[in-house]
Amino acid sequence: AQSVAQPEDQVNVAEGNPLTVKCTYSVSGNPYLFWYVQYPNRGLQFLLKYITGDNLVKGSYGFEAEFNKSQTSFHLKKPSALVSDSALYFCAVRDGRGNNRLAFGKGNQVVVIP
Amino acid sequence: DGGITQSPKYLFRKEGQNVTLSCEQNLNHDAMYWYRQDPGQGLRLIYYSQIVNDFQKGDIAEGYSVSREKKESFPLTVTSAQKNPTAFYLCASSEDQGAVAPLHFGNGTRLTVT
């Protein structure tokens, strides 16, 4: 079964500094990878996805993620963090062999310090 | 605006009572999902439906039931058999039954059972 690991519970970063949120995955077939963001007491919002093609994926709000097959990673990045980026970030993976279930990681709380 | 509406936002029930959470979407999506979110545990899949009048159990279906009589509606009933029902419940939909479309989430229902 597919699974996702988000090793850090919380990521603290100063405003204006680069932000990285780590994600590693495990699937049997080709991975379909997603990042979502959640603000307090709200649902998740889709940020970006990797299905195939270019390993660097650009998404909403200036976020990007790099797919690394050899390291089975899909880290989320933003060159310059904003205070408004403070939220809970979830990585998710689907098995590209047709299993429709999406496996979510536990989430990373990002705190951007003014 | 197209989207997913979950109601109510907050719900309080006494132990032993069944309760039904509403989820309506006007995105014309075929697939719909129910997730449960607990602090530090990410999202866990309760039930999903890929088409009207059909649904499948997710990873934690015990104590829950669903119906999918209409494409736009996917209500979740939390029964008295669910041992620990207090949680944040999220409904989602996606436009395809495969693996590539992102999920669209509602803003959740926070259920408290005492």
B12-45 per-position pLDDT tens digit: 999 999 999 999 999 999 999 999 999 888 899 9
Nearest to A96 among B6, B90, B99 (CB): B99
Does the beta-carbon distance from A51 to B90 stay under 8 Å? no
Radius of gyration of chain A (CA): 14
Burial class (CB in 10 A: 0-12, 13-18, 19+), B80: middle
Q: Is B31 on the interface with A (CB under 8 A)?
A: yes
Using CA atoms, how far apart are residues A60 and A48, in angstroms rounded to an integer? 7
Task: Give me the pLDDT at residue B97, please.
Answer: 64
Using CA atoms, how far apart are residues A91 and B13, in angstroms rounded to an integer? 32
Across the A:B interface, residue pairs with CB atoms under 8 Å apart total 62
Nearest to B45 among A46, A101, A105 (CB): A101
Using CA atoms, how far apart are residues A107 and B8, in angstroms rounded to an integer? 25
Task: Give me the pLDDT at residue A41, please.
Answer: 85
Q: Is the peptide bond before B75 cis (omega within 30 degrees of 0)?
A: no
Instruction: From chain B, pick out residues whose CB is under 8 angstroms from the CB of A90.
Output: 42-43
Eight-state DSSP code of residue B81: T
Tell me: pLDDT of B105 over 80.
yes
Does the beta-carbon distance from B92 to A32 stay under 8 Å? no
